[in-house]
Structure formats: structure tokens, C-alpha cells
């Protein structure tokens, strides 16, 4: 009954309001507030206060002071205002040049002197610099500054302007070369999914990726200003996290507009590859293939004071050849099987990326009546991030996909109604229709993806999404967002009440490469290879591919003993064997074992087969409802910002049918609709205090604390509706060992039955031990590690993962975070303000996945010793223990129950940091920037399954992301994990990580200076960032481990075929040197007429030609630095200096 009443209330309000925006509605304007008194200090009641500005289509707005002399005028669009106060018996008082930006409250006080009301006294005191009433922490960059700075003019470049913002290292841009494959950032320890992009104060993202909004680009000529909110969140804000609010330009009563164009090319780019970088696998610098942008916008009146328009268009393309040892197509891709199992770099076909963005837009502003104003904003886009994630250095070009963003349009509409001087109603709607069409980047019809796990490199076919769901297909979404707010000002109180609604709908239809099931592999099979020690002498190793030419045994690297079975030679002319002329660029280095000091050769050999259900389709629906109320209560110099938000999330899965899987003997399966996959209700308090210390607007103390729920993106790994979808709850992937006993390299030819979970394939070599199909011992293809994957008569439809009710339903059960901020702000001299702030963020309702099919006593401990690195002494060579593996009787049993971590102990994830920033504007100089430092400490040392959990954290969930800690694991600035198969599964990392405070020590500053002669303007943007952290992921097999007091028969790994452990504690070692980038612009204004101005520009991006390493090879191995696939090879560096010439026209 309560649910029905609440939904009815939401529906009625939305219908009455007309529709609106998500969460942040109305945060597209500023406020002018203050008090009016007389020369004796007495409060003047009933004084008329008027604001005027060209930014107002109605030209002026008015209010009157209350009995306490206070006034407040809200919903003012960005612009420069004049404020006038009048009262009978007093001379009017006027304040000019009051600049209003989004989210800023300008305090403008008046002291009226006796006289005639017709007399006006113009006060020449400076405009306020500090906001002493709001507790929000934000940075606003005006269009004037954006146009003056040498930045790439995309949303991906905004983190470079914001101290403390952490974006993926690989996305660091030079002159627009990186496109917008990444737009989001973390701030003050926020969750990556909580990045939110807004337009005109309304949510504008695509829920297919949380709030990151890769599907949409932003035309700089249509942007009025950019508000970046980083703390002190109000009840209107949907979540805590980095919020970027792009305020669009409006028309006006006079025709105006702008045009800009710029370009760069290979001749304007400098090389920055040093001999040291060449020694780390970077043979040559990246080079520009194409780089230009053309954009423009024009606005004006359709009917003066009644109807305005602003129209804009843009086309932008960036494309570069990539720099790095692995940035080439695979020359063996089209070779006959099994020769295409090995990667051979084709220098004649270097890798490159292509990012192209085209959009058109139209915005209308209609003053329908004196009090009713409407806006309409429509944008149509067609964009592509082609060769998606190629810059990670972990994928050959044919292993990437082209991400085309199609059917991509957005429409926004708002209504503003100042019902009286005290009451303002506002409503709006945003409709989003978008899709990601992931297409092939050019692999052959018989290609399949192969991952060299020792080098963490994927080639042959697409490897960007190797999981259940496939690599190609269409991800579609539509969503309607609505919000209504009522603002009411009375005396010292400024109330705001609102309701918001979001209804996203998403679906995905996906499949795999290898469409014809070529080479004997069923549809939906992926292959993994790894470096393995063998007893073959160096003289019997083919130098072109590193493979033995004689029969061999593999070596147990933990004890130095050879395997019981011998292997056939993989080199020869026989059917299915590798041709002696085949080239393998990913050669394996020799390895010296610590146990016996013997050096063995290694060869890249089969290690694992991964099977997927394919194709896979799914659909899901969500509904986000919210009610919020807040009050800005002014008590003399103290302002209380009191807010409370009620969030209600509902996840629903429509009825759906999964296609048949003939390759596994599975018929099509239908699932009934799930009407309550998730149902969360949360109360989120948002409280802030702002104190004007001396009452002169020069010093402000601000403290705030806010609780926010984490964003549920439609296709993000942590989305509860997606995770509980019946399609995803079934085991849709399994792995099995692959040992090439016969030298044919084909597990199917070896006799593997892919419609069974049993092991198969006995070695054909004389004296070989027979395959035990039950345990997988001595089998060419081991047993499947997920029993529910196959048509099991004992569990034909058992869910592989289920969720505790208090994880998916209930009050205050949704994952959340608290963000605390405390700062002091001081205007040290006129127009120069500094701020020092302390920030703390912590998370709650963390979840874990317990395998209820295996008791805590069903695991045995083992150890593994990564080989010592000779190139980097101090790494490897140390035994890693306290690792646990399921006993033989529990092999393949996987029935996961996701529960709250608090049921097992106390897990924590806490960020602590300090910011010091400056904002200055004087004598033609503008400075904005600051220094930040902080670290994020994670402690997940809670036993959920085995004792391993007290030492190492791993993700036992097949979805690889149902544990919140992996959404929040300090992964920023770690090399992209694309190219791995379920990269987080069985990847053991220390469960307690305490990074140093310089983990995020950074400096960012922007400067704009107009010389006092010839209208020459100089501007610069600098960012000094920490080194990326070192990561070393060691892959190992059963032959590399030693068990400690195992149960009888437990002599091989049952929990994983190819296991992983971190050799370096993540986020604690930063060896690559700091990253300093300085961009510089030289420009000059030429006035053609009084209204027409043209400005030629010369931009020098990365002017000092810095070459910091952005990503490195993360697969731990002992390959010599510089050889393909070697650990710590530089897989991407900052592009060299780029000069771009451009022109900007204003009229």
C-alpha cells in the first residue's frame, strides 16, 4: 500500500510538473542574495531589489526584502548582473559587474542612505569572490577561459583542469589526440561509477557505462561554462563523485556566434622516444595520421524578448599511429591452423586509432508569458571510437573493435515558473536514445582470439570483451529522466523540494568471432597460451619461434622435476604441426629455478581453453525514484545547508529467451520476467555549514558530510539488475586445462568432448599415462571447472550465483559512500582567494561471494615462487604462500551466494586527502589551480571461503565484478586490463593495501595573461602527476606450485587452470618518474568591426616534449626489457610535442 501511494505521488507530481531531469535538476544557475539596511544598521523591510542582465530573456527580475531585510533571487543563468535596491525615503543603490556562475551564491549587501528614490548611488566595491553561504565544493570554468586555454576542448580534457581529479593514465591527452574513449574521473576517493556528466543541470549520460557518457561529445562553441562539483553535495545531487555540468549557450536579443577551426599534422609533431624508451620496447614515437576540428554556433532572436535560438555543429577527427613493440597487426592471423596460434608483428601494418565525432544541435528559449519560460535542446550525434582501447598496448589491432555510437540523440526541455517573489517552480525532461554497435576491426573469418597470458597480450581476433556475451553486437538503451523542484524563500530560509524519476531500459545482443566454428573449435571458444619450462636444450630450439624441434617434457618449476608424460615435437611437417618457418614475436626467455639453480628453456605452449555460451542476449529495466528536501538557513554569519534525500531503486528483468547453443547441445531457454530483481530504499542526509568568519565575505569556513548511493549503470559490472538477471546467474563460461600431448595443438582433434564437462584426450606418446576423464589428470583437455555450464541432469537450471535478500532488497542496503569535507577559504587580496580542504570518503554495504558448495575445510594450502627478475633485482624469487585450492572432490562446484561482507567481518575502503587551491584574477592575469595529496587504504582481510581470504583478496564470482571491492580497488592509473579473460578471477592480491600519501600527489594550474599591448594573449595549462604504479601479475599452472599437507590425490590445481598472483602490492611502488605536461598558447585579437573579432592561435601541446610512461606491461615475467611482452615494457607513452594552428571568430 505504501509503495502504491509513493508511486502515485511521484506520478502526480511529474504529471503536474510536466517532466524533468535526473538528480541534479536545476543546478544550471546561480543566486544573488544579501541584506538591505540603512546607514544606522537597521534592517530595511519591503525594499525592492532588481537584477538586470543580457543573460535574462525577460531582461529583469525583482523581489522585495523581508522583515529581516534579507532578499534572495534564484535561478539566474550565468552572466554579469547589475543589482539595484530601492525603498521610499532612500536613494536607490546600484551594484554593477556582479558575475554569476553555475552553483555560485553572490552575497550583495546594501546600505541605503536617506534621499529621493529617484536618486541612484552606484557602489563601486568589487564583486564577491567567495561564496560564503553554500557548502558545495566546485570549480567553474567560464567559456572565456575555456576558449583561451590550450586544451583539447573535449570532456576528456576537463580532469586536466581540476586538482585532485584522477583519470585513467592512458587517456592523458596531447592536443586532442586521444579522443574521448574515456571521459570519467575519480575525485577524493569516489567510486568510478559515480562520475556524472550533466547538461544544463540535468543528467545527460548513457547508463550503459555508469555516468561516463562515452557516447556523447561536447561542442565547445555551444558551451557557456563548465561546473565541476567535487564535494559538499546537496540533496539534489544523485550521488557523491565527480560531477561535470556543461551549461549550454542561449540565444539573445542580438545575433551573435562563434566559429573555430584548428589542425595539426605529422610535420608539426616532435619525436620523444629516447634510447631508454627504445630499450623498453618503444621503437618509434606515435605519429599523427589526421587531426582537425571545425565547429561553430550562432544564436539570436527569432522574436526579440520572446523567442531565442542557438544552433551549432561540429566535426572532429583524431587519428594516430601507435608507439610500442606490440602495436602491429598479426602477420600470422590468416595463416593455416595451428600456425596462427603464434603472433608475428607485421611492421608494414602498424596499429592506429581513429576517433571521429560529428554532431548538430538546436536550442530554443521561449518566454511564453511574463512568468512562464521554456527551453528545448536537441542534439544528434554520430561518433566512433574505432580500434577501441588500442592505446592499452595489450591488444593487437585485429583484437580490438570499432565502437560506433549510433541512433545517438538527446532531447532536453525545461519549464521555469516564478509564481511569486518567493516561489519558483521548475521542471524538465531528458530523453536519451543511444546504442553501441561493436564491430569487427578486420580479423579474418577463421580467426579466433589467442591470449599470451605470460605477456598479457591478445591477438588474432577481438579480445576487448572476452566474457559471456561475446565481443560483437549491439548494446542499446533508452531512458527518460524527469524532475520537478519548488524553491521557496521566506526570511532566513530558502527551501527547495523536489522529485526526480529515471527510467532506463537496456539490452544487448552479442556474439563471437570464429563464426564458422573454424579449425575444429566450437563457436565461442577462446584459447590461452603461456610460457612453460621444458627440458629441451637450447640447440634444439627453433630461433624463429622458440619452439622445441624434439620431444620434450615440461618442468615443474617449484621442484625441478619433469612431467610424467612426454610431448610430441611441435615443429615439423606433420598434420597440425607448427611450420618451422613460422615466426613468433612473443618469445619466452630461459628461466633459472631457485630450487636447483638449473636454467631451462621455455616455450609458448597451450595452457587453457575457455568456453562461452554464445550468442548471449539479455535485457533489463530500471527505475530510479527520488524525493528530496533542503533548506539553506541563514543565521547571521552562519548558513546551514540541511538536506535529506530519499532514493528508491527498482530493478526489473523482462521475459527473455536465450538462443540455442548447438555446439554444446543446449536448446533455447526462456526465462520469466523478474519484477523485483532489486528493490532498495535509502535515506541519504546531506548536511553542510558555511560560516562567514568576519562578516565581510573575505573568510569562509565550510564543513559538509553527505551520504550517497552508488550509481547503477546498465552495463557496468556492479549493476545489480544485470548481475541478478537470470541470463547472468547461470554459469555461462568455463575453463579447462589444455595440454598439447600429441603436438596437434587442437584439443578437439585430441578427442575433447565439448558437450561434456569431463576431461578427454590421452597422449599418443609411447608410455604416456592414460587420461582420467573424471579428474582431468593426464588429459589433453581437462575437466570443466564449472559443473553447471553443461546440460547437467542433476542441476539443469540451477543458478550459478544467487544474492541474499538483504543485498538486493530492503532499507539502507544499497552500496553507498560517505564523503566528508572541511575547508577554509580566504580572499588574501582583492580577487585572489585560496582554499585548503580536508577530504575523507568511506564505503558501506560491501559485498562478498561465498561458494556455498565448498566448506572452509575443503581447501588445501599451496605455495608458488615467481622466478627472480635479473633485469629488476628485488622482484620475484620469493615464495608466495597462504594460497588455497579446492580439494579434488569439490572441483567444478560453484554455487555462489553474494552476501554483505559485514556478515564475515569488517572490510573497509577509506580515502583521506588534502587539497590546496588558488583562484586569482588581477591585472589581466587569471590563475586557477592547486596541489592535492591523498591515499586510499583498503582492507578486505575477512575469511569468506578459505583462509586465503585473510592474506589475499581474489574474486570468486564468475561475473568477475559482483564484489564491490573490485569496482573500488585503486585500479585508476593501472594499465588497462582489456585483453584478459575474466582478468580478476583467481588473481590474488594482498588483502590489505596502504599506499603512500604521494599516491595522488599532483599539481595542476591554468594561467591566462593578456599583455598590455597589441592584444596579445598568453595562456598555459600545466599538470604534474605521480608516476603510474607498478603492477606485476604472475600467471602459473599446476606444474609451478607445491602443496602443503594436501588431501590424498590433491596434486593439481582444481580452482583454476591458469592462476594469477600479484608479485607487487598494488598502488605501493611508483618507479617510473613523475609526469609533467605543459601546454602553451600564443594568440592575438584582431577587431574587424566593433562586433566582429578574429583570433589566430598557435598551440604548443607538451611544449617540453615530455615522454612519461602511461602504461606498462603488467604480466610478470623474466623476458629481457624491450623484447615483446616483457614485464614493465612501456606499452604507451605521452605523445610528443604537437603544434596546432587555429582560428577563432566571435561576432
Q: Backbone phi, then psi, for 857, in 5-degree steps?
A: -85, 0
Q: What is the pLDDT of residue 541?
A: 94
Q: Which helix (H) or strand (E) holds 808?
A: helix 805-808
Integer Cα distance of 1140 and 150 in angstroms:
10
DSSP 283: -
Q: Determine what percent of the chain is predicted with pLDDT higher than 70.
A: 87
Q: Backbone phi, then psi, for 1135, in 5-degree steps?
A: -60, 150
241 Ramachandran zone, left/alpha/beta (phi>0; psi -120 to 50): left
Integer Cα distance of 34 and 697 in angstroms:
11
Asked whether 649 and 712 are in contact (CB, 8 A), the reply is yes
Integer Cα distance of 1122 and 933 in angstroms:
33
Nearest residue to 72 (alpha-carbon basis) of 415, 485, 418, 427: 418
Integer Cα distance of 140 and 246 in angstroms:
10
**CA 218 vs CA 149, 155, 158, 438: distances in Å:** 16, 7, 11, 22
Is residue 998 helix, strand or coil? helix
200 Ramachandran zone, left/alpha/beta (phi>0; psi -120 to 50): left
DSSP output for 359-401: EEEEEEEEE-SSS-EEEEEEEEEEEEEESTTGGGSSB-GGGSE
Integer Cα distance of 1114 and 973 in angstroms:
12
Residue 1129 has pLDDT above 80, yes or no: yes
Residues 6+ apart with CB under 8 A from 988: 880, 883, 948, 952, 953, 954, 1059, 1060, 1061, 1062
Q: What is the pLDDT of residue 917?
A: 97
DSSP 789: G
- Summarised one tens digit per residue, pLDDT across range 930-945 is 999 999 999 989 999 9
Q: What is the pLDDT of residue 875?
A: 95
Interval 875-904 mean pLDDT:
89
Interval 69-80 mean pLDDT:
92
DSSP 785: S
- Summarised one tens digit per residue, pLDDT across range 113-153 is 888 766 777 766 677 888 999 998 888 898 889 999 998 77
Asked whether 608 and 736 are in contact (CB, 8 A), the reply is yes
DSSP 518: G
Nearest residue to 666 (alpha-carbon basis) of 595, 732, 618: 732
Q: What is the pLDDT of residue 211?
A: 47
Residue 214 C-beta-side C-alpha neighbours within 13 Å: 25
Integer Cα distance of 172 and 1108 in angstroms:
11
The cell for 23 is: 538528480
Q: Is 491 exposed, middle or buried (0-12, 13-18, 19+ CB in 10 A)?
A: middle
Q: What is the pLDDT of residue 704?
A: 97
Integer Cα distance of 503 and 492 in angstroms:
37
Altogether, the residues listed in the chain come to a count of 1147
Integer Cα distance of 565 and 1087 in angstroms:
84
Q: What is the pLDDT of residue 14?
A: 37
Asked whether 449 and 394 are in contact (CB, 8 A), the reply is no
* Residue 423 CB coordination number (10 Å): 14
* Confidence band of 434 (pLDDT split at 50, 70, 90): confident
Residue 842 has pLDDT above 50, yes or no: yes
**CA 191 vs CA 198, 760, 767, 909: distances in Å:** 17, 45, 56, 11
Q: What is the pLDDT of residue 937?
A: 92
Q: Which helix (H) or strand (E) holds 734?
A: strand 733-737
For cell 572490510, what's the residue? Answer: 907
* Confidence band of 976 (pLDDT split at 50, 70, 90): very low
Q: Determine what percent of the chain is predicted with pLDDT higher than 90.
A: 49
Integer Cα distance of 970 and 968 in angstroms:
6
DSSP 119: -
- Summarised one tens digit per residue, pLDDT across range 1046-1084 is 999 898 888 888 888 999 988 889 999 999 999 999 999
Q: What is the pLDDT of residue 325?
A: 66
* Residue 925 CB coordination number (10 Å): 13
Q: What is the pLDDT of residue 775?
A: 79
Integer Cα distance of 145 and 225 in angstroms:
9
Residue 197 pairs with which residues in a beta bridge? Answer: 244
Q: Which helix (H) or strand (E) holds 728?
A: helix 726-729
For cell 630499450, what's the residue? Answer: 279
Buried b (16+ CB within 10 A) or exposed e, 552-569: bbbbbbbeeebbebbbbb
CA 570 to chain centre: 43
Average pLDDT, the chain: 84
Print the SS3 string covering 143-160.
Answer: HHHHHHCCCCCCHHHHHH
* Confidence band of 395 (pLDDT split at 50, 70, 90): confident
Domain 2-123 has CATH 2.60.40.1120: yes
Asked whether 1116 and 1034 are in contact (CB, 8 A), the reply is yes
The residue ranges of every structural domain in the chain are 2-123
Q: What is the pLDDT of residue 981?
A: 27
Is residue 171 helix, strand or coil? helix
Integer Cα distance of 172 and 160 in angstroms:
8
For cell 553554500, what's the residue? Answer: 134
User: 957 or 979: whose pLDDT is higher?
Assistant: 957
Residues 6+ apart with CB under 8 A from 1057: 607, 608, 735, 736, 737, 738, 782, 785, 1037
Residue 584 has pLDDT above 90, yes or no: yes
Residue 718 has pLDDT above 80, yes or no: no
The cell for 58 is: 525577460
Residue 513 has pLDDT above 80, yes or no: no
Integer Cα distance of 580 and 583 in angstroms:
8
Residue 717 has pLDDT above 90, yes or no: no
Listed range (741-745, 976-980, 1136-1140) with the worst mean pLDDT: 976-980
DSSP output for 2-50: HHHHHHHHHHHHHHHH----SSSTT-S-EEEEEEEEETTS-B-TT-EEE
Residue 374 pairs with which residues in a beta bridge? Answer: 366, 415
Residue 225 C-beta-side C-alpha neighbours within 13 Å: 24
- Summarised one tens digit per residue, pLDDT across range 257-283 is 999 999 999 999 999 999 999 999 888
The cell for 236 is: 539534489
Largest CA distance in the chain: 115
For cell 536579443, what's the residue? Answer: 253
Asked whether 22 and 628 are in contact (CB, 8 A), the reply is no
Q: Is 1084 exposed, middle or buried (0-12, 13-18, 19+ CB in 10 A)?
A: middle
**CA 18 vs CA 374, 499, 1058: distances in Å:** 11, 12, 56
Integer Cα distance of 405 and 292 in angstroms:
20
Interval 647-664 mean pLDDT:
85
- Summarised one tens digit per residue, pLDDT across range 341-363 is 999 999 888 889 999 999 999 99
Integer Cα distance of 820 and 837 in angstroms:
10
Amino acid at each position: 500500500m505504501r509503495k502504491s501511494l509513493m508511486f502515485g505521488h511521484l506520478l502526480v507530481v511529474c504529471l503536474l510538473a510536466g517532466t524533468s531531469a535526473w538528480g541534479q535538476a536545476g543546478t544550471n544557475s546561480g543566486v544573488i542574495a544579501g541584506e538591505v539596511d540603512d546607514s544606522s544598521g537597521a534592517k530595511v523591510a519591503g525594499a525592492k531589489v532588481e537584477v538586470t542582465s543580457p543573460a535574462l530573456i525577460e531582461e529583469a527580475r525583482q523581489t522585495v526584502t523581508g522583515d529581516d531585510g534579507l532578499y534572495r533571487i534564484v535561478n539566474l543563468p550565468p552572466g554579469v548582473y547589475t543589482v539595484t535596491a530601492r525603498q521610499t525615503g532612500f536613494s536607490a543603490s546600484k551594484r554593477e559587474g556582479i558575475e554569476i556562475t553555475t552553483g555560485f551564491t553572490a552575497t550583495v549587501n546594501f546600505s541605503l542612505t536617506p534621499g529621493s528614490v529617484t536618486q541612484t548611488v552606484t557602489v563601486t566595491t568589487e564583486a564577491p569572490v567567495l561564496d560564503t553561504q553554500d557548502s558545495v565544493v566546485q570549480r567553474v570554468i567560464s567559456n572565456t577561459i575555456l576558449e583561451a586555454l590550450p586544451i583539447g576542448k573535449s570532456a576528456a580534457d576537463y580532469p586536466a583542469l581540476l586538482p585532485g581529479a584522477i583519470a585513467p593514465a592512458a587517456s592523458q591527452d596531447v592536443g586532442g589526440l586521444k579522443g574521448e574513449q574515456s571521459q570519467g574521473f575519480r575525485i577524493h576517493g569516489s567510486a568510478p561509477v559515480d562520475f556524472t556528466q550533466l547538461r544544463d543541470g540535468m543528467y545527460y549520460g548513457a547508463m550503459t557505462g555508469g555516468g561516463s557518457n562515452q557516447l556523447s561529445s561536447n561542442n565547445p562553441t555551444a558551451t557557456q561554462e563548465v561546473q565541476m562539483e567535487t564535494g559538499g553535495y546537496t540533496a539534489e545531487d544523485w550521488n557523491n563523485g565527480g560531477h561535470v555540468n556543461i551549461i549550454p549557450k542561449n540565444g539573445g536579443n542580438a545575433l551573435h556566434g562563434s566559429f573555430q577551426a584548428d589542425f595539426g599534422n605529422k610535420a608539426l609533431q616532435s619525436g620523444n622516444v629516447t634510447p631508454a624508451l627504445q630499450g623498453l620496447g618503444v621503437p618509434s614515437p606515435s605519429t599523427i595520421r589526421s587531426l582537425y576540428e571545425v565547429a561553430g554556433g550562432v544564436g539570436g532572436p527569432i522574436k526579440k524578448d520572446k523567442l531565442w535560438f542557438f544552433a551549432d555543429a561540429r566535426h572532429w577527427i583524431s587519428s594516430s599511429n601507435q608507439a610500442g613493440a606490440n602495436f602491429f597487426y598479426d602477420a600470422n592471423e590468416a595463416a593455416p591452423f595451428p600456425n596462427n596460434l603464434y603472433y608475428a608483428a607485421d611492421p608494414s601494418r602498424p596499429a592506429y586509432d581513429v576517433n571521429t565525432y560529428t554532431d548538430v544541435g538546436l536550442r530554443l528559449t521561449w518566454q511564453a508569458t511574463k512568468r512562464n519560460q521554456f527551453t528545448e535542446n536537441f542534439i544528434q550525434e554520430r561518433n566512433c571510437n574505432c580500434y577501441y582501447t588500442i592505446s592499452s598496448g595489450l591488444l593487437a589491432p585485429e583484437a580490438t573493435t570499432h565502437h560506433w555510437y549510433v541512433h545517438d540523440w538527446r532531447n532536453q526541455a525545461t519549464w521555469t515558473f516564478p509564481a511569486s517573489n518567493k516561489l519558483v517552480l521548475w521542471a524538465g525532461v531528458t530523453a536519451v536514445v543511444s546504442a553501441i554497435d561493436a564491430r569487427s576491426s578486420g580479423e579474418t573469418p577463421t580467426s579466433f582470439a589467442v591470449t599470451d597470458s605470460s605477456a598479457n597480450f591478445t591477438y588474432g581476433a577481438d579480445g576487448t570483451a572476452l566474457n559471456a556475451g561475446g565481443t560483437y553486437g549491439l548494446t542499446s538503451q533508452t531512458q527518460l529522466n524527469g524532475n520537478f523542484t519548488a524553491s521557496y524563500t521566506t526570511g532566513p530560509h530558502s527551501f527547495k523540494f523536489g522529485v526526480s524519476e529515471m527510467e532506463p531500459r537496456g539490452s544487448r545482443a552479442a556474439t563471437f568471432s570464429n563464426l564458422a566454428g573454424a579449425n575444429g573449435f566450437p563457436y565461442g571458444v577462446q584459447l590461452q597460451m603461456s610460457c612453460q619450462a621444458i627440458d629441451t636444450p637450447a640447440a634444439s630450439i627453433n630461433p624463429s619461434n622458440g619452439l622445441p624441434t624434439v620431444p620434450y617434457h615440461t618442468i615443474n618449476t617449484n621442484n625441478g622435476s619433469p612431467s610424467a608424460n612426454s610431448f610430441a615435437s611441435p615443429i615439423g611437417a606433420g598434420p597440425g604441426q607448427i611450420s618451422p618457418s613460422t615466426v613468433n614475436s612473443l618469445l619466452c626467455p630461459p628461466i633459472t629455478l631457485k630450487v636447483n639453480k638449473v636454467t631451462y628453456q621455455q616455450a609458448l605452449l597451450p595452457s587453457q581453453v575457455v568456453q562461452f555460451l554464445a550468442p548471449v542476449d539479455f535485457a533489463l529495466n530500471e527505475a530510479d525514484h527520488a524525493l528530496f528536501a533542503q533548506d539553506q538557513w541563514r543565521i547571521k554569519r552562519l548558513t546551514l545547508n540541511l538536506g535529506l534525500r530519499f532514493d528508491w531503486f527498482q530493478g526489473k528483468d523482462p521475459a527473455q529467451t536465450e538462443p540455442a547453443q548447438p555446439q554444446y547441445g543446449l536448446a533455447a531457454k526462456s526465462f520469466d520476467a523478474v519484477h523485483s530483481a532489486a528493490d532498495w530504499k535509502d535515506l541519504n542526509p546531506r548536511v553542510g555549514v558555511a560560516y562567514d568568519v568576519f562578516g565581510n565575505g573575505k573568510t569562509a569556513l565550510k564543513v559538509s558530510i553527505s551520504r550517497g548511493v552508488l550509481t547503477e549503470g546498465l552495463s557496468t559490472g556492479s549493476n545489480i539488475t544485470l548481475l541478478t538477471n537470470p541470463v547472468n546467474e547461470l554459469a555461462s563460461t568455463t575453463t579447462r586445462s589444455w595440454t598439447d600431448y600429441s603436438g596437434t595443438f587442437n584439443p578437439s582433434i585430441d578427442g575433447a568432448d565439448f558437450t561434456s564437462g569431463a576431461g578427454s584426450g590421452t597422449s599418443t606418446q609411447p608410455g604416456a599415462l592414460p587420461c582420467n576423464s573424471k579428474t582431468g589428470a593426464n588429459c589433453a583437455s581437462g575437466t570443466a571447472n564449472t559443473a553447471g555450464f553443461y546440460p547437467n541432469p542433476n542441476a539443469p537450471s540451477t543458478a550459478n550465483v544467487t544474492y541474499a535478500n538483504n543485498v538486493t532488497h530492503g532499507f539502507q542496503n544499497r552500496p553507498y559512500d560517505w564523503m566528508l569535507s572541511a575547508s577554509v577559504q580566504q580572499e588574501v587580496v582583492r580577487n585572489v582567494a585560496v582554499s585548503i580542504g580536508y577530504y575523507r570518503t568511506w564505503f558501506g554495504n560491501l559485498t562478498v561471494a561465498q561458494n556455498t558448495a565448498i566448506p572452509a575445510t575443503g581447501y588445501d594450502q599451496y605455495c608458488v615462487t615467481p622466478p627472480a627478475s635479473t633485469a629488476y633485482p628485488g622482484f620475484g624469487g620469493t615464495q608466495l604462500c597462504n594460497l588455497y585450492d579446492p580439494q579434488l572432490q569439490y572441483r567444478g562446484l560453484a554455487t555462489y551466494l553474494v552476501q554483505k561482507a559485514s556478515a564475515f567481518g569488517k572490510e573497509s575502503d577509506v580515502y583521506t586527502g588534502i587539497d590546496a587551491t588558488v583562484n586569482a584574477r588581477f591585472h589581466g592575469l587569471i590563475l586557477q589551480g592547486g596541489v592535492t595529496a591523498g591515499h586510499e587504504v583498503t582492507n578486505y582481510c575477512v575469511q569468506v571461503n578459505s583462509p586465503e581470504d585473510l592474506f589475499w583478496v581474489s574474486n570468486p564470482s564468475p561475473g568477475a565484478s559482483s564484489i564491490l571491492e573490485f569496482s573500488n580497488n585503486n585500479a585508476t592509473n593501472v594499465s588497462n586490463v582489456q585483453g584478459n579473460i575474466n582478468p580478476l578471477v583467481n588473481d590474488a592480491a594482498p588483502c590489505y593495501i596502504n599506499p603512500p600519501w604521494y599516491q595522488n600527489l599532483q599539481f595542476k594550474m591554468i594561467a591566462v595573461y593578456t599583455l598590455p599591448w597589441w592584444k596579445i594573449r598568453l595562456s598555459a595549462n600545466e599538470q604534474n602527476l605521480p608516476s603510474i604504479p607498478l603492477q606485476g601479475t604472475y600467471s602459473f599452472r599446476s606444474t609451478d606450485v607445491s602443496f602443503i599437507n594436501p588431501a590424498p590425490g590433491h596434486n593439481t590445481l582444481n580452482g583454476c587452470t591458469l592462476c594469477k598472483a600479484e608479485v607487487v602490492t598494488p598502488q605501493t611502488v611508483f618507479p617510473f618518474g613523475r609526469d609533467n605536461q605543459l601546454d602553451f598558447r600564443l594568440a592575438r585579437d584582431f577587431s574587424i568591426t566593433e562586433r566582429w573579432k578574429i583570433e589566430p592561435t598557435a598551440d604548443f601541446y607538451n611544449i617540453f616534449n615530455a615522454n612519461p610512461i602511461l602504461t606498462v606491461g603488467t604480466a610478470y615475467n623474466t623476458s629481457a626489457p624491450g623484447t615483446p611482452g616483457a614485464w614493465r615494457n612501456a606499452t604507451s607513452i605521452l605523445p610528443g610535442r604537437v603544434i596546432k594552428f587555429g582560428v577563432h571568430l566571435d561576432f
